[in-house]
Chain A
Amino acid sequence: MNFLIKRDVLAGLMCLMVSALVLWEGQNYTQGTLQSMGPGYLPRVLGLGLAGCGLLIMLSALRSSEALPKLNVRAFCLVTLAILVFAFTLNWLGLFLATFLLVFISSLSEKRLRFRVTGLLALALCGLSYLIFIVGLNMPIRLFPWSF
Chain B
Amino acid sequence: MDLLSNLALGIETAFTLENLLYCALGVTIGMFIGVIPGIGHLAAISMLLPLTFYVPATTAIVMLAGIYYGAQYGGSTASILLNLPGTPASAVVCLDGYPMAQQGRAGVALMMTTVASFVGSFITVIVLAAFAPPLASFAVAFNSTDYFSMMLLGLVAAAILVQGSPVKGIAAVLLGLILGLVGTDVSTGIQRYAFGLTFLYDGINIVAIAMGIFGVAEVIANVGKVKGVQSAQKITFRSLIPTRQDVKQSIMPMFRGTGIGTGVGILPGTGTSIASFLAYAVEKRISRHPAKFGKGAIEGITAPESANNAAAQSAFIPTLTLGIPGDAVMALMLGALLIHGITPGPNVISDNPSLFWGLVISFLIGNVLLLILNIPLVGLWVRLLKVPYPLLYPSIVLFIAIGVYSINYSHMDIMLVAVFGVLGCLMLLLGFEPAPLLLGYILGPMIEENFRRALMLNQGDMMVFVERPVSAAFIALSVLLLAWSAYSMVKDRRTARMAAGQ
A43 within 8 A of B: yes
Contact A57 B168 (CB under 8 A): yes
Q: Per a CB cutoff under 8 Å, which of B394, B406, B430 touches A106?
A: B394
1/0 contact string of B392-420 vs chain A (CB within 8 Å): 01110111111001100101101101100
Closest to B452 in A: A37
B426 within 8 A of A: yes
Contact A87 B167 (CB under 8 A): no
Contact A14 B401 (CB under 8 A): no
A88 within 8 A of B: yes
* Complex-state Cα separation, A121 to B185, whole angstroms: 45
What chain B residues lie within 8 Å of A1 (beta carbons)? none
1/0 contact string of A24-63 vs chain B (CB within 8 Å): 0100010001111111001100110110011011001001
Q: Per a CB cutoff under 8 Å, which of B175, B394, B418, B428 touches A84?
A: B418
- The smallest beta-carbon distance between B434 and chain A, in angstroms, is 14
Contact B219 A79 (CB under 8 A): yes
* Complex-state Cα separation, A114 to B359, whole angstroms: 45
Closest to A59 in B: B167
A76 within 8 A of B: yes
Contact B430 A79 (CB under 8 A): no
| Interface size, chain A (Cβ < 8 Å) | 67
**A53-B171, A79-B223, A80-B418 given; A11·B455 CB < 8 A:** no
Q: Per a CB cutoff under 8 Å, which of B168, B397, B425 touches A71?
A: B425
* Complex-state Cα separation, A79 to B417, whole angstroms: 11
What chain A residues lie within 8 Å of B177 (beta carbons)? 42, 46
Closest to A114 in B: B390
B229 within 8 A of A: no
A18 within 8 A of B: yes
Contact B414 A90 (CB under 8 A): yes
- The majority secondary structure among interface residues of chain B is helix
Closest to B432 in A: A11
Contact B448 A90 (CB under 8 A): no
What chain A residues lie within 8 Å of B418 (beta carbons)? 80, 83-84, 87
**A57-B171, A72-B220, A80-B422 given; A7·B431 CB < 8 A:** yes
B230 within 8 A of A: no
Q: Per a CB cutoff under 8 Å, which of A80, A121, A141 touches B394?
A: A121
Contact B178 A50 (CB under 8 A): yes
Contact A29 B190 (CB under 8 A): yes
B268 within 8 A of A: no
A-B contact count (CB 8 A): 181
Contact B456 A75 (CB under 8 A): no
Interface size class of B (residues with CB under 8 A): 35 or more
Within 8 A of A (CB), among B57-98: none
* Complex-state Cα separation, A79 to B219, whole angstroms: 9
**A53-B171, A87-B415 given; A72·B223 CB < 8 A:** yes
Contact A80 B421 (CB under 8 A): yes
Contact A79 B421 (CB under 8 A): yes
Contact B406 A139 (CB under 8 A): yes
A4 within 8 A of B: no
What chain A residues lie within 8 Å of B422 (beta carbons)? 76, 80
- The smallest beta-carbon distance between B1 and chain A, in angstroms, is 43
Contact A15 B171 (CB under 8 A): yes
* Complex-state Cα separation, A71 to B177, whole angstroms: 27
B493 within 8 A of A: yes
Contact B171 A106 (CB under 8 A): no
Contact B430 A10 (CB under 8 A): yes
B470 within 8 A of A: no
* Complex-state Cα separation, A34 to B454, whole angstroms: 10
**A11-B432, A63-B493, A75-B220 given; A103·B398 CB < 8 A:** yes
- The smallest beta-carbon distance between A147 and chain B, in angstroms, is 15
* Complex-state Cα separation, A147 to B224, whole angstroms: 37
Contact A76 B192 (CB under 8 A): no
Closest to A139 in B: B406
B245 within 8 A of A: no
Q: Per a CB cutoff under 8 Å, which of B193, B216, B394 touches A102?
A: B394
Contact A133 B402 (CB under 8 A): yes
Determine which residue in B216, B225, B402 has the highest number of CB atoms from chain A within 10 A of its CB, and name it. B402
1/0 contact string of B169-198 vs chain A (CB within 8 Å): 011001101100100010110101101000
What chain A residues lie within 8 Å of B398 (beta carbons)? 86, 99, 102-103, 125, 129
Contact B405 A90 (CB under 8 A): yes
* Complex-state Cα separation, A57 to B168, whole angstroms: 7
* Complex-state Cα separation, A133 to B47, whole angstroms: 13
What chain B residues lie within 8 Å of A109 (beta carbons)? 223-224, 393
Contact A83 B397 (CB under 8 A): yes
What chain A residues lie within 8 Å of B409 (beta carbons)? 139-140
Within 8 A of B (CB), among A82-102: 82-84, 86-88, 90-91, 95, 99, 102
The 8 closest A-B pairs by CB, nearest first: A35-B460, A34-B460, A87-B414, A75-B223, A11-B430, A53-B171, A83-B418, A39-B185
14 pairs of residues in contact across A and B, judged by CB atoms under 8 Å: A35-B460, A37-B455, A43-B193, A46-B177, A53-B167, A53-B168, A53-B170, A71-B425, A80-B418, A80-B422, A87-B411, A91-B411, A102-B394, A137-B406
20 further A-B pairs in the complex, CB-CB below 8 A; given A86-B401, A109-B393: A15-B175, A34-B455, A34-B460, A35-B459, A47-B178, A53-B167, A57-B171, A60-B167, A72-B224, A76-B422, A79-B223, A79-B393, A83-B397, A83-B417, A84-B414, A88-B415, A121-B395, A125-B394, A133-B402, A137-B406
